[in-house]
Amino acid sequence: MANRTTIEHSHTLPQAFLTLLDRDIDAGVNVRPLPENLAQFMLAQIALLPCVDLDEEFEGDIDL
């Protein structure tokens, strides 16, 4: 079983990355729009996913 120290340590790298990203966004540095072909590809991939009802009620047990 993980202890608190292990859990906090395991989140150090992602938190550092998100902090760096946040600072870059605030400063307008290293942030630019996606290339149009990449944006279109991502939209096409979303269209292939089954429709999901975000308001659907959960029933029974749910594994997270």
Residue 39: alpha-carbon gap to chain centroid: 16
Q: How far apart are CA 63 and CA 46, in angstroms?
A: 24
Q: For residue 24, which of 35, 16, 13 has the smallest C-alpha distance? A: 16
Looking at per-residue confidence, does 36 or 33 come out higher? 36
Indicate if the pLDDT at residue 21 is higher than 50: yes
Strands (DSSP E) along 1-64, which ranges?
none
Looking at per-residue confidence, does 5 or 22 come out higher? 22
**Segment 28-52 mean pLDDT:** 88
Indicate if the pLDDT at residue 41 is higher than 90: yes
